[in-house]
């Protein structure tokens, strides 16, 4: 059953991917076609305007330029005096993107040495960052959990259900976090980087989920940035990631608690039901036992009185008081009940013989037998 569920979920993921693929294709392919058309037009226009350039020369130049761009060097403008992509602050930023596994890619190592170092660096750095994130997320989750507990204590007096409090406080937490870590930075980026609102939110989401495409990078354009801008961006990434991690761990904890609670409740319910059933059946058996014992007592007394009377009256077989054989049988289901009561049982059933004037001997004998 377990593997079937995992397989089902896996198929669900594949389905999700296929749906995403078709939607992306439908949305993006037309735009791509448009861009292609435009750039081909540009090329043709350029070639026609500058007739001394032939196609192959242009292609060569373009290839080199594209390669340079991939290496992080921007060939347009004046490349001599601008800042490097590998000065200390940018390298710091790059190291940060490697360790957090965001990996924008607008800057990447091109030397063999750089690449080997990148591998080793990531091998050690990613677990380190993972521990840090786990610790920070844990602390945040605990702080938040304590806050919720306090709020719950307050609201319990007002007889609001615990689940409601929890749900509302989570929603508030998520909203507040969104405001602080998503909306506010998006506004700042929109203002400083000159992106549209959608592009800023897109950048924030892509960065904080550590996808990190790199088409938009804060601090990656040619704008003159303030000195503290890049470190601030990096700090925001760290805290934003911790926030996402805290939210995820909180959701995970709750799912676990819910499933545990459900299991407990189901277990408790089962236990209660079983106990109730046991009690009821035991009571029922006891009632039957008591009843049969009382009946036996009564007949015993009646028999004694009858004997006394008949001995006093002599041998006077009188009228029919009771029919010859009247049996009252109570069946015990198991040995325990049988042993609980002394005598009186033959083959698991209790026989009480009624008194008969027709067969006094037999009745007496029967009684004696049964008394034994």
Partner 1 sequence: MSTAFRSWFMLIGFILAYFTYLLLGALVFSAIERPVEENLKADLSALKAEFLNLSCVNSTALESFLERVLKANKYGVSVLENTSLRTNWDLASSLFFANTMVTTVGYGHTTPLSDAGKAFSIVYALMGVPFTMLVLTACVQRLMHPLTYRPISACQRRAGLQPRSASVVHFIVLLFLVVLCFFVVPSLVFSTIEETWSFLDAFYFCFISLCTIGLGDFVPAEKPGQSLRALYKISVMVYLFVGLMVMFLVLRTFHKLADVHGWTAFFQLPSCDEDDEDKEPIIEAGPEDDSPEAEKASIKPLDPSSQVSYNSINR
Return contacts of 315-322, CB within 8 angstroms, 24+ apart.
Answer: 317/357, 317/358, 317/360, 318/357, 319/357, 320/356, 320/357, 320/358, 321/355, 321/356, 321/357, 322/354, 322/355, 322/356, 322/357
Coil/strand/helix, residue 345? strand
CA-closest candidate to residue 138, choices 215, 258, 270, 248: 248
Q: Which stretch binds partner 1 (CB under 8 A): 147-155, 164-172, 193-201, 355-363?
A: 193-201
Instruction: Among 222, 265, 275, 294, indicate the residue that binds partner 1 (CB under 8 A).
Output: 275
Residue 118 or 324 with smaller CB distance to partner 1: 118
Total residues at interface with partner 1 (CB under 8 A): 152
Residues 291, 332: Cα–Cα separation, whole Å: 13
31-60 residues in contact with partner 1 (CB under 8 A) are 31-33, 35-36, 38-40, 42-43, 46, 49-53, 55, 57, 59
CB atoms within 10 A of CB 132: 16
Residues 57, 50: Cα–Cα separation, whole Å: 12
Residue 124 or 309 with smaller CB distance to partner 1: 124
Position 228 contacts partner 1 (CB under 8 A):
no
Residue 319: DSSP 8-state: S
CA-closest candidate to residue 145, choices 260, 242, 253: 253
277-296 residues in contact with partner 1 (CB under 8 A) are 277-279, 281-283, 285-286, 289-290, 293
Residue 247 or 303 with smaller CB distance to partner 1: 247
Build a one-symbol-per-residue string for 81-120: x at contacts with partner 1 by CB under 8 A, - elsewhere: ---xxxxxx-xx-xxxxxx-xxxxxx-xxxxxxxxxxxx-
Instruction: Among 1, 48, 157, 319, indicate the residue that binds partner 1 (CB under 8 A).
Output: 1
Instruction: Among 5, 311, 319, 347, indicate the residue that binds partner 1 (CB under 8 A).
Output: 5
295-334 residues in contact with partner 1 (CB under 8 A) are none
Residue 314 or 336 with smaller CB distance to partner 1: 336
Query: What is the signed CA dihedral for 239, 240, 243, 248, rounded to 10 degrees?
Result: -140
Position 61 contacts partner 1 (CB under 8 A):
yes
10-29 residues in contact with partner 1 (CB under 8 A) are 10, 13, 16-18, 20-25, 27-29
Residues 46, 53: Cα–Cα separation, whole Å: 9
- Helices and strands of the chain, counted as H and E runs: 10, 2
Residue 255 or 313 with smaller CB distance to partner 1: 255
Position 156 contacts partner 1 (CB under 8 A):
no
229-248 residues in contact with partner 1 (CB under 8 A) are 248
CB of 167: closest distance to partner 1 in angstroms? Answer: 18
Position 340 contacts partner 1 (CB under 8 A):
yes
Q: Which stretch binds partner 1 (CB under 8 A): 66-74, 160-168, 305-313, 356-364?
A: 66-74
Question: Could you tell me the CA-to-CA distances from 315 to 95, 311, 362 in Å, in that order?
Answer: 120, 7, 15
DSSP per-residue string spanning 38-58: HHHHHHHHHHHHSTTS-HHHH
CB of 366: closest distance to partner 1 in angstroms? Answer: 19
Residues 363, 351: Cα–Cα separation, whole Å: 12
Residue 314: DSSP 8-state: -
CB of 335: closest distance to partner 1 in angstroms? Answer: 11
């Amino acid at each position: 059953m377990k593997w079937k569920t995992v397989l089902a979920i896996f198929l669900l993921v594949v389905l999700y991917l296929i749906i995403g693929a078709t939607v992306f294709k439908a949305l993006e392919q037309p735009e791509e076609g448009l861009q292609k058309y435009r750039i081909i037009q540009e090329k043709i226009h350029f070639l026609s305007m500058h007739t001394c350039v032939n196609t192959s020369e242009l292609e060569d130049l373009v290839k080199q330029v594209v390669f340079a761009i991939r290496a992080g060097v921007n060939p347009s403008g004046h490349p001599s005096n601008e800042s490097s992509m590998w000065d200390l602050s940018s390298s710091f930023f790059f190291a940060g993107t490697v360790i957090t596994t965001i990996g924008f890619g607008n800057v990447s190592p091109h030397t063999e040495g750089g690449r080997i170092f990148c591998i080793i660096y990531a091998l050690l750095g990613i677990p380190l960052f993972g521990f840090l994130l786990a610790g920070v997320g844990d602390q945040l989750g605990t702080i938040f959990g304590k806050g919720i507990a306090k709020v719950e204590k307050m609201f319990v007096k007002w007889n609001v259900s615990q689940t409601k409090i929890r749900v509302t406080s989570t929603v508030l937490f998520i909203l507040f976090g969104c405001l602080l870590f998503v909306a506010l930075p998006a506004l700042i980026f929109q203002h400083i980087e000159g992106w549209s609102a959608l592009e800023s939110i897109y950048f924030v989401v892509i960065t904080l989920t550590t996808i990190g495409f790199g088409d938009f990078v804060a601090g990656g354009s040619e704008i003159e940035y303030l000195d503290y801008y890049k470190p601030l961006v990096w700090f925001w990434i760290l805290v934003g990631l911790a926030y996402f991690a805290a939210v995820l761990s909180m959701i995970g904890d709750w799912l676990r608690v819910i499933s545990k609670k459900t299991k407990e409740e189901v277990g408790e319910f089962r236990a209660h039901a079983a106990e109730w059933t046991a009690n009821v059946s035991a009571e029922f058996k006891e009632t039957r036992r008591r009843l049969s014992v009382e009946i036996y007592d009564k007949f015993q007394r009646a028999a004694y009185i009858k004997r006394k009377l008949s001995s006093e009256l002599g041998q006077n077989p009188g009228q029919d008081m009771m029919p010859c054989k009247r049996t009252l049988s109570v069946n015990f289901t198991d040995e325990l009940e049988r042993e609980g009561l002394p005598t009186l049982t033959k083959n698991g059933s209790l026989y009480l013989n009624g008194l008969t004037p027709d067969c006094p001997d037999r009745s007496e004998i029967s009684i004696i037998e049964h008394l034994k």
